[in-house]
Amino acid sequence: LQANFSVIQENEGPINGVITVLHDVTEQEQIEQDRREFVANVSHELRTPLTTMKSYLEALEDGAISDPDLGPRFLGVTQNETERMIRLVNDLLQLSKIDSRDYQLNLSTVDFVLYLHEVIDRFDMIAANKNIHFIRKISPQLTYVKMDRDKLTQVLDNIISNAMKYSPEGGNVTITLEHYGQNIRVSISDEGMGIPRESQQKIFDRFYRVDKARARSIGGTGLGLAIAKELVHAHHGEIWVESMYGQGTTIFFTLPFTKNKEGNW
Ligand code: ADP
């Protein structure tokens, strides 16, 4: 903490007061350090797929291209890496938009129960491939939420696809909707590997992954939950995790709701 003092005094007369300005230097330093870390992370995350692509393209140039087995395989790798880079850049653009001062949500009043079922219906198709079952514990009470539909869909997509990614074959994913006072609480619960206690607070940080190599091979960018956090906060909600390592993970978030479309109780 840095303090600057100024004395208020007129022509050598009596001292009328003192102005003290306190600067939280540590906070400024922290912001600067976070920014540097972020740039280093972005560079690293972009360099990794680029160096992979470079070496595969060199191998193709050196002759692999005419090998009926290696040719298509190496091209497949470069294609995957390109797709990863596109996902990463899209996520970064999304975060940079949210960070900008004039960020605006496109709000409308949504029947949330109907909406939540629609989002899960869409995932039912994909989940069938991995033999994952969705269990819906969705209270049917009329619930209206003033929200940006596309943005909230992105929040749910990120959380539900994590639940599926980190679940074993045949696992259950339970989606719950409950009402507490003037808030709804949505939770997405899986029976996957769980998250160690010391990592639980960090999973909402940009680029944090519990197991970098594993998460990368599954195709994540490390930005999904950071985006979810920003978007839930923009909707005046909270988001958090509860997890038992080895047993499963539940992500919770809250949003304010009303009982009718006009926003009244
Ligand atoms: P990623 O794109 O790597 O999935 P996220 O921001 O979505 O990035 O998640 C950050 C990290 O949190 C993941 O890399 C993973 O280690 C951990 N994580 C998120 N959801 C789960 C889950 N349901 N089960 C286990 N680990 C999870």
Other beta carbons within 10 Å of 231: 23
Kindly state if the Cβ of 234 falls inside 6 Å of ligand 1.
no
Kindly state if the Cβ of 203 falls inside 6 Å of ligand 1.
yes
**Each residue of 151-197: pLDDT tens digit?**
999 999 999 999 999 999 999 999 999 999 999 999 999 999 999 99
Average pLDDT, the chain: 93
Burial class of residue 47 in the structure, from the number of CB atoms within 10 Å of its CB (0-12 exposed, 13-18 middle, 19+ buried): exposed
**Each residue of 50-89: pLDDT tens digit?**
999 999 999 999 999 999 999 999 999 999 999 999 999 9
| Alpha carbons within 13 A on the beta-carbon side of 33 | 6
- Ligand 1, pocket-test mutation among 154, 164, 166, most atoms within 8 A of CB: 166
So what's the pLDDT on residue 94? Answer: 94
Name the nearest CA neighbour of 119 among 97, 134, 105, 102: 134
At residue 131's C-alpha, the angle toward residues 203 and 228, to 5°, is: 25
Decide if 125 contacts 88 (C-beta within 8 A): no
Residues 10-32 have a mean pLDDT of 81
Q: Is the pLDDT of residue 140 over 90?
A: yes
So what's the pLDDT on residue 8? Answer: 80
- Ligand 1, pocket-test mutation among 195, 198, 252, most atoms within 8 A of CB: 195
Q: Is the pLDDT of residue 12 over 80?
A: no
Residue 185 phi/psi, 5-degree rounding, is -125, 120
**Angle between helices 70-99 and 25-61 in degrees, nearest 10:** 160
Q: Is the pLDDT of residue 211 over 90?
A: no
